Chains A and B, each alone.
Chain A
Amino acid sequence: MTAPSEPVSASEPLVPGAPPPATLWVDLWSGIARDNPVLVQMLGLCPTMAVSNSLANGVAMGIATLFVLVGSSFLISASRKHIPNEVRLTSYILIIATFVTVADLALAAGFPVISKALGPFVPLIVVNCIILGRAEAFAGKVSPSRAVADAVGMGLGFTFALSGLSAFREVLGSGSLLGYHVLGSHFEPWVFMVMPPGGFLTLGLIFLGMGWYGTRKARRAKERSA
C-alpha cells in the first residue's frame, strides 16, 4: 500500500488523491447539501434508521456524531504527517474510538435518559462509515482548518437529515413531536412508522421523491434544448 511519493514543494505539499483546493465555505457547504452524507452518499444508514424513531433521539445522535466527526477530523488532520501510510486506517479508528468513548461517557453523565434510549448505538458511532470515510478521503490529506470545515458540514448534513427523518417518523408514528402531542386525540398513530419497516419505508420514500425530482428536471432540460 505504498503510495507513490510525489516531490514535495516547500509551500504546497502534494498528497496523492487530495481533494482540489476550495474555500472553507465550499468545504462546509458541500457536506450539508451537495454531498450530504445520508441523502446523496448513502453513508451511515444504520444509525440513521435505528435511532430515527423520535426527534429527541435523532438530534442527540446527530450532535454526538458531529462532535466525534469534528474532533477526530481535526486530530487526524493535525497528525497526518506523523501517521505512517501502512497503519493509517488503524490509527484513524483508534482516534475515532477515543472520541466516541468521550461522547458516550458525556452523554451517559449529562443525559441518562437519551443515553439509555440510544443504547449501543452511541458506541456504534465508531463504525459509522461517514467518519472513517471522511478521515480517509479528506481529513488525512488536508490542513486542519479545511478538515474541521468539512467535518462541521458533514456533521450538520447528517444531523439535518436525521432530524427530518425522525420528525417525520415521530409525528406519524406516535402523533407527537419531542413528546408533545401535535396531531390531536382523534389521530390514530401509525405504530408501523416507529417500527423497523417504517425506517426503511421513510428513507425509501425520500429517495423515490428525489428520483422523481431528478427525472423531471432531466426531462425539462431535454425539452428545453429540443
Chain B
Amino acid sequence: MSNLAWIFLSTLLVNNFTLAMFLGLCSFFGVTSKIETAWRLGAANTFVLLITAVSAWILNTYVLATTPFLRTIAFIVVIASTVQIVEMIIKKYLPVLFRELGIYLPLITTNCAILGLALFQTTRGYTLVEGLVFALGAGLGLTLALTLMASIRERLDVAEVPALARRMGLVLVVASCLSMAFMGFAGMGSAP
C-alpha cells in the first residue's frame, strides 16, 4: 500500500511529467492561455493515460512477451486508436470543449506523456494496479502543471511586459521557475 502511495506522490510531484521529465511540453506551452481549457485538456489527458496504462499492461503481458521489438509500434497504434475514441466521445457530448481544444485534441496522440507513460511502465515492470496509480498520478500531475501555468499566464496577459519577452521567452522563464519550485519536492522520501 505504501508502495502505491509512493508511486502516486512521486509521479504527481517529485517526478512531475511536465516539469521534471519534459513530457507533454507541446500542450504545456500551446494550450495554457486559459485556465478552463487547460484543466479540461488535463482531464482528457488523464483519461487517455488511464486507458493507455491498462492497454499497455495487457499488451505487455499477453502479446509482446515474445516480441519486445514491436513495442513502440504496438503502443503507438493503441494510443492513436484510444485518442480517436476519446475525440469522438468529446465531439458528441462536449462540442464546446471540442472546439476549444481544436488541434490539441488529436495531438494527444503525439503527446509524449502518453507514450512515455507506457514505456516507463514497461521498463519499471509495474503491475496492473501500480500502472493505474502511476497513470493517475501522471495525469493529475499534468493537470496540475497545465493549470498552474495557465493561471500565471492569465495574469501575465494583463501585466506590462517588455516587448522582447512578449512571446515565448517569458513563458519559458516562468516554466523554469515552476520547475525549480517542483524540485523542492525532491526531498520527499526515497523509492522503496
**Contact residues of A with B, CB < 8 Å?**
42-43, 45-47, 49-50, 89-90, 93-94, 97-98, 100-101, 104-105, 119-120, 123-124, 126-129, 132, 195-201, 203-205, 207-208, 210-212, 214-215
Q: CB < 8 Å: which of A97, A127, A201 contacts B176?
A: A201
Please state if A196 and B76 are interface contacts (CB–CB under 8 Å): no
- Residues of chain A lying within 8 A (CB to CB) of residue B19: 196
B23:A98 contact, CB within 8 angstroms: no
Contact B23 A46 (CB under 8 A): yes
**A200 with B164: CB separation less than 8 A:** no
Q: Are B179 and A200 in contact (CB under 8 A)?
A: yes
B69, B107, B115, B169: which contacts A124 (Cβ < 8 A)?
B115
How distant is the Cα of A98 from the Cα of B69 in the complex, in angstroms? 10
Q: Which residues of A contact B38 (CB under 8 A)?
A: none
> A101-B72, A201-B173, A208-B173 are contacts. A127–B112 as well, Cβ < 8 Å?
yes
- Residues on B with C-beta less than 8 A from A129 are 26, 107, 110
Of A46, A98, A200, A211, the residue contacting B166 (CB under 8 A) is A211
Q: Say yes or no: is B175 at the interface (Cβ < 8 Å to chain A).
A: yes
Query: Nearest residue in A to B71 (C-beta to C-beta)?
Result: A123
Interface of A is mostly: helix
B: interface residue count bin: 35 or more
Instruction: Name the residue of chain A whose CB is nearest to the CB of B24.
Output: A46
Q: How far is the CB of A103 from chain B (nearest CB, A)?
A: 10
Min CB–CB distance A124 → chain B (angstroms): 5
State which residues 101-150 of B face A: CB under 8 Å. Answer: 106-107, 109-112, 114-116, 119-120, 123
Q: Output the least CB separation between A3 and chain B (Å).
A: 17
B173 touches A195 (CB 8 A): no
Closest chain B residue to A45, Cβ basis:
B25
CA distance A89 to B103 in the complex (A): 14
Residue of A nearest to B23 (CB): A46
A123 to B76, CA, bound (A): 10
CA distance A41 to B165 in the complex (A): 17
Could you tell me the distance between the alpha carbons of A85 and B22 in the complex, rounded to whole angstroms? 32
9 A-B pairs with least C-beta separation: A204-B172, A200-B176, A211-B164, A208-B169, A207-B169, A50-B22, A201-B176, A197-B179, A120-B119
Nearest CB in chain B: distance from A182 CB, A: 24
Which of B19, B112, B171 gathers most chain A CB within 10 Å? B112
For B111, the chain A residues whose CB sits under 8 A away are: 127
